[in-house]
Amino acid sequence: MGWREEYQSKLTTFEEAAKLVRSGDVVTMGFGPAAPSSEFYEALMDRWEELQDVRIVDALQVRKTRLYDPEFLEKVDGHITYSPGFGGGAVRPVYRAKRFDFFGGCATNSNAERYSNLADVFVQMVTPPNDHGFVNMGISSFYGMAIARRGREIGKLRIMIAEVNDKLPMVYGDNWVHVSQIDAFIENSAPVVTFARAVPGETEKMIAGYVSDLIDDRCTIQMGFGSIPEAIIPMLEGKKDLGVVTEMFPSGLPDLVAKGIVTNKYKPFHKGVTIASFCLGDQAMYDFIDRNPQTELYPIEYTNNPAFIGAHPNMRSINMAIMVDLNGQICSESIGHRLVSGPGGQPDFQVGAFLSEGGFPITVLTAARKQKDGSLSSSILPTLPPGTVVTVPRTFAHKIVTEYGVADLRDKSSRQRAEALINIAHPDLREELRAQARKLLYP
């Protein structure tokens, strides 16, 4: 039987595909927009009474589903457990209600291996097959390739289900799976989830100005999605021959390439090509990456390998944080015991840039947050609140940037670090921080 006949024989519906899940299975969904449409989630949720001990794992949730409803999760307890590997706003109600079992970890080999060790069933959105019988993972290679490849090799993955969407961009790189490796196909022509570009405010622009001063011509950069990265994009005007190695394509990449700011000419690997592991963007971004030889996606065990990142001279990683303590411990995931997000690729790129010859990691955050009563809460703290997750240990902290400047922590003593961080804290909060530092660090 040729691949076309095999493909036709495996066509099914959301409802029938959901019936392939058994009690006791771990069902892993593709990352972000590469996860299946809500119809698959809902078809699986409809079976909750007949299932026992099914664990659903996804990351970066972008579609509406009952799975993210705390009341529904309470009702299906014992039948279905939700285990996010990374979370955004859609699942914060679940976090607050503690109706989840977090599966966090940094995005490099640990996640690739852990997800392939975990998944009995894997569901991913893909493109229609090409003339050679290969479907493309579209906008997310991420952990999907590890599951599809290593999960089969070790005999863990029992079922792979592909939602075939002809509107999904086709992206080059290590991003292909043959029809013969997939057990069921659901054809569903649907718009790809898009994300509007953030609009930075004046504070974000001030931070971006300091970051821009730290980026030289021919540097290789990594940054993600959000108001501060968005503010950095126009600040790169006038830079020359930047390269990009990143977990996620930067939202302004099409503009940077069009203006010749990003050329990737001087990277030691993948010259002329921006590489990432996934993409979140608007339609302009998806149009740009579709069948574009200048962009390629690779699994996270490749893009996020600190040794690979560190092999790029003059690497600049740019990542956001929630808070930093006076020792340089960086938190990007929680406020005390209250979970907000996950580590993602931040630890990987922090270490990689730290190891790079001439490179360094950059952590950005606003100096303070305004509370409901109008008071200011400092993002630079004497110590992190009890229960706070440390995303980056103090040993790998380097450049910390707020709207008040840059603190360089590398090769600094504890007291020197504290003073450098206090100098970029909100001016109204510095004296209290100094008083706390004297108590903590001086006899």
Given a cut of 90, is residue 290 above it in pLDDT?
yes
- Give 136's contacts (C-beta < 8 A, 6+ positions apart): 126, 127, 130, 168, 170, 171, 175, 176
Q: Which range has the worst mean pLDDT, 12-21, 101-110, 195-204, 373-382?
A: 101-110
Please, which pLDDT band fits residue 397 given cuts at 50, 70 and 90? very high
**From the candidates 39, 163, 247, 296, which is the catalytic residue?**
247
Please, which pLDDT band fits residue 225 given cuts at 50, 70 and 90? confident
Given a cut of 80, is residue 16 above it in pLDDT?
yes
Please, which pLDDT band fits residue 114 given cuts at 50, 70 and 90? confident
Please, which pLDDT band fits residue 107 given cuts at 50, 70 and 90? low
Please, which pLDDT band fits residue 105 given cuts at 50, 70 and 90? confident
For residue 142, how far is the Cα from the chain centroid?
Answer: 9
Given a cut of 60, is residue 404 above it in pLDDT?
yes
Given a cut of 80, is residue 251 above it in pLDDT?
yes
Helical spans, DSSP H, in 119-198: 144-153
Q: Is 230 a catalytic residue?
A: no
If you average pLDDT over residues 248-260, what whole number do you get? Answer: 95
Strand, helix or coil at 54? Answer: strand
Task: Return d(Cα 97, Cα 179) in angstroms, integer.
Answer: 41
If you average pLDDT over residues 202-215, what whole number do you get? Answer: 98
pLDDT computed for residue 185 by the predictor: 98
Model confidence pLDDT, tens digit, residues 318-353: 999 999 999 999 999 999 999 888 898 999 999 999
Among all chains, which residue has been given the structure tokens 């021919």? 218
If you average pLDDT over residues 280-301, what whole number do you get? Answer: 96
Measuring CA to CA, which residue among 187, 180, 252 is closest to residue 36?
Answer: 187
pLDDT computed for residue 406 by the predictor: 98
If you average pLDDT over residues 67-93, what whole number do you get? Answer: 93
Instruction: Say how many C-beta atoms besides its own lie within 10 A of residue 159's C-beta.
Output: 18
pLDDT computed for residue 439 by the predictor: 97
| β-bridge pairing 176-178 and 134-136 | antiparallel
Model confidence pLDDT, tens digit, residues 175-198: 999 999 999 999 999 999 999 999
Q: Which domains does the chain have, with CATH numbers?
A: 3-187 (3.40.1080.10), 202-441 (3.40.1080.20)
If you average pLDDT over residues 45-54, what whole number do you get? Answer: 98
Given a cut of 80, is residue 146 above it in pLDDT?
yes
pLDDT computed for residue 111 by the predictor: 67
If you average pLDDT over residues 246-270, what whole number do you get? Answer: 96
Given a cut of 80, is residue 243 above it in pLDDT?
yes
If you average pLDDT over residues 3-27, what whole number do you get? Answer: 98
If you average pLDDT over residues 224-228, what whole number do you get? Answer: 88
If you average pLDDT over residues 29-41, what whole number do you get? Answer: 95
Give percent of the chain above pLDDT 90.
Answer: 91
Given a cut of 80, is residue 288 above it in pLDDT?
yes
pTM of the predicted structure, to 2 decimals: 0.95
Reported for 195-198, long-range contacts at CB under 8 A and 24+ positions apart, including other chains, are: 195/225, 195/280, 195/281, 195/282, 196/282, 197/230, 197/251, 197/252, 197/282, 198/225, 198/226, 198/227, 198/229, 198/230, 198/251
pLDDT computed for residue 353 by the predictor: 98
pLDDT computed for residue 282 by the predictor: 94
pLDDT computed for residue 89 by the predictor: 80
Instruction: Dump the DSSP string for 140-154.
Output: B-TTHHHHHHHHHHT
Whole-number average pLDDT of the chain: 95
If you average pLDDT over residues 291-319, what whole number do you get? Answer: 97
pLDDT computed for residue 109 by the predictor: 57
Give percent of the chain above pLDDT 70.
Answer: 99
